[in-house]
Amino acid sequence: MSTTKIEKKPISFSNILLGAGLNMSEVTTLGQPLEVIKTTMAANRNLTMAQAAKLVWSRGGILGFYQGLIPWAWIEASTKGAVLLFVSAEGEYRLKSLGASPFISGMGGGVLGGLAQAYLTMGFCTCMKTVEITRAKQAKTTGVPQQTSFQVFQEIWKKEGLKGINKGVNAVAIRQMTNWGSRFGFSRLAEDAIRKFSGKGENQKLSNLDKIFASVIGGGLSAWNQPIEVIRVEMQSKTNDPNRPKNLSVWGAFKYIYKNNGIKGLYRGVTPRIGLGVWQTVFMVAFGDIFKKMLNTEGTGH
């Protein structure tokens, strides 16, 4: 059990604006290019990372790496960042106040934040981003002119309604729970290790560089759940494969991928995913802590 003194401050809704701003910055810099490469590899499981990057480049040069950024990634980033930082901070504080360790508190807050992200904001945005990234291949192979993002959205809405644009949301929820539970949990564990090896006391504040280093470790280790991400991409992809079952469930997508690509197929895109995990965790955990301290709102999460 942690003996860290928890000072409760009023719930600060500035965490909502801070989360939105940090996530917008993350996705607009390296976040979306890594997301595009990762998704391309997960959808085209025969490609190496270099081949995936070449394919993305062929879609429009440097702009190909920002496919799906506007509007879907921006909508997703601003909403999911706000939800994540607010919910995870409150969840982490509540668990700490009950005497849970920093690792358990961080993991619990991350799980709650990831779950809230998936069902409140991420379902349709993640689906539309994946459609945006994967549909270019379909247009190229069929010769049919590529639709605009909003034409695709309208088509899915007309055929399948709300369920269609939230396709794969359960896989998104599993991914986000394990993503942010791991990222916050492992980052807090790394912070404890840094304190121990540097001789700092439990209540002594870490430097900004310590926070960033701990987030790099937490983000890298969070890529263990890559099979969930590959399953999510498969469920949301647009494809003409006649052997692919319709209306895939999480389990159905797992069996389809394993049958066609084996265990390696479930880990396609893990390298850019590690990079993306590190980048996202540095922004949302390390920078989140640093800016919450500056805004004097850290009591709601620490």
pTM (whole model) above 0.85: no
CA–CA separation, 110 vs 100, rounded Å? Answer: 14
Confidence (pLDDT) at 173: 87
- Across 139-149, average pLDDT: 58
CA–CA separation, 288 vs 292, rounded Å? Answer: 6
Average pLDDT of the chain? 84
Asked if residue 102 has a cis previous peptide bond (ω within 30° of 0), the answer is no
Query: Which residues, 6+ apart, have CB-to-CB distance to 149 below 8 Å?
Result: 68, 71, 72, 128, 132
The percentage of the chain sitting over the pLDDT mark of 90, rounded to a whole number, equals 52
Instruction: Give Rg (Cα) of the chain.
Output: 20
As given in the structure block, the two tokens for residue 166 are 């939230």
Confidence (pLDDT) at 124: 62
pLDDT in tens, 193-246: 999 998 887 777 899 999 999 999 999 999 999 999 899 888 877 666 778 888
CA distances (Å), origin 236, targets 18, 128, 131, 199, 296: 30, 8, 7, 48, 40
- Across 278-293, average pLDDT: 93
pLDDT in tens, 75-116: 888 888 999 999 999 999 999 999 999 999 999 999 999 999
CB 23 within 8 A of CB 81: yes
Question: Does 61 score more than 90 pLDDT?
Answer: yes
Helix 74-97 and helix 169-198: axis angle, to 10°? 50
CA–CA separation, 215 vs 292, rounded Å? Answer: 16
Confidence (pLDDT) at 233: 86
Confidence (pLDDT) at 262: 94
The band of 190, judged by pLDDT with boundaries at 50, 70 and 90, is very high
The band of 292, judged by pLDDT with boundaries at 50, 70 and 90, is confident
CA distances (Å), origin 168, targets 30, 52, 175, 267, 298: 25, 23, 11, 18, 34
Domains of the chain (ranges; CATH) run: 14-296 (1.50.40.10)
3-class state of residue 101 by DSSP:
coil
3-class state of residue 174 by DSSP:
helix
pLDDT in tens, 23-40: 999 999 999 999 999 989
H or E stretch covering 247: none
CB 80 within 8 A of CB 122: yes
CA–CA separation, 28 vs 31, rounded Å? Answer: 6
Neighbours of 230 (CB within 10 A): 28
Confidence (pLDDT) at 120: 81
CA–CA separation, 239 vs 227, rounded Å? Answer: 19
CA–CA separation, 166 vs 122, rounded Å? Answer: 9
